[in-house]
Amino acid sequence: MNIDNDNYRLQPPSLTYPHKNQLKKDELHACEDYYAIAWAEGTLTSQDRSDLQRSSRRQLIEQQAAIYQKLKIKPDSSLRYKAKNRLYRPDKQRLLLKYSLTAASCLLFMALGITLWYRTPSMSGQENQLILLPPIEIETMELPAIPQQTPVASSSAIPTMTSLPSAVPPKRIPVMTKKELPVGQIEATPLDIPRNIQINALSPGDAELILSENAIDWKPSKNRFRNLPLFSSVIQTGKIIAERLKTAVTNEDFYPSHLK
């Protein structure tokens, strides 16, 4: 009997290992301390865990993982974004109210500013301002007559008195308005006869001032205090009166004849 031994040869199986891919190492596994970092990151796969279980370096890897865990950066909670208010989006009603209030405030300030601007008196306009003088009232005042003087006994030291002029009937002195009255030329009224002298007096009022024509043409000085109309008028009026008195005193016609 002839037996062929080749017919009894074993045939190779066609089986394959199903977990071949798990054994492969990718780029990640090529990193040094992969297992320690993955352990710290919490990203160990099941295959990684089984590899670690079988590894003799498991304890060392665990220590390294603890170090990597502590090397994680913690956020700085003190750093805060301060401009959050610019990021919020308010609702439309609030926006409308906000813009309305802003517009109303602007209009109010504008109106206030315009009002104050027109109320403030301008210094340049004073030249053209009309100064209203109080009305003039004419009063009649009766003066008592001065009795005639008796002649004194003649003496060389005493001057001889001349006879006084005879009384003349009173006559009305024409009223002179402010413009007709010449400055510095006030005519004295005789004192020896009773007469009614018309006095031009200002009507009672708040302004007890004598304003001449010069006062109307007066211009404000640079002095801030004198710029006030009231004080400047008083000062100027005083000056005019002083000038008139000075001129009158130096004029011989100012004194009555018996005193010359």
Partner 1 sequence: MIAMTRKEYNQCVDDFADAVYRFILKSCHNPALADDIVQDSFLVLWEHVSEIAHAKAKAFLFTTAYRKLIDTFRHEKKNADIENIRPENYYTETSCTDLNEILEEVLNKLSPIQKTVVLLRDYEDYSYREIAEITGLSETQVKVYIFRARHWMKSFIRKPELIL
Least CB distance from residue 63 to partner 1, whole Å? Answer: 9
**Which residues 6+ apart lie within 8 Å of 190 measured at CB?**
165, 256
CB closer to partner 1, 35 vs 218: 35
Least CB distance from residue 22 to partner 1, whole Å? Answer: 16
**Length reported for the chain:** 260
Least CB distance from residue 102 to partner 1, whole Å? Answer: 22
Least CB distance from residue 69 to partner 1, whole Å? Answer: 10
**Which residues 6+ apart lie within 8 Å of 96 measured at CB?**
none
Of 45, 37, 98, residue with least CA distance to 67: 37
Nearest 5°: the CA angle 45, 47, 51 is: 115
Rounded Cα–Cα distance for residues 29 and 253 (Å)? 135
Least CB distance from residue 82 to partner 1, whole Å? Answer: 9
The distance from CA 36 to its chain's CA centroid, rounded to whole angstroms, is 72
* CA trace torsion 116, 119, 120, 122 (10° rounding): 140
CB closer to partner 1, 77 vs 154: 77
User: Is the alpha carbon torsion for 75, 79, 83, 88 positive or negative?
Assistant: positive
Least CB distance from residue 5 to partner 1, whole Å? Answer: 54
151, amino acid identity: P
CB closer to partner 1, 72 vs 260: 72
Rounded Cα–Cα distance for residues 202 and 208 (Å)? 7
Residues that bind partner 1 in the complex, under the rule CB under 8 A = 26-28, 31-34, 37-38, 40-41, 43, 67-68, 70-76, 79-81, 83-84, 86-89, 91
- 181: its two tokens: 């009255």
Least CB distance from residue 49 to partner 1, whole Å? Answer: 17
What are phi and psi for residue 141, nearest 5 degrees?
-125, 135
Query: If you compute the radius of gyration of the chain from its CA atoms, what whole number of angstroms results?
Result: 61
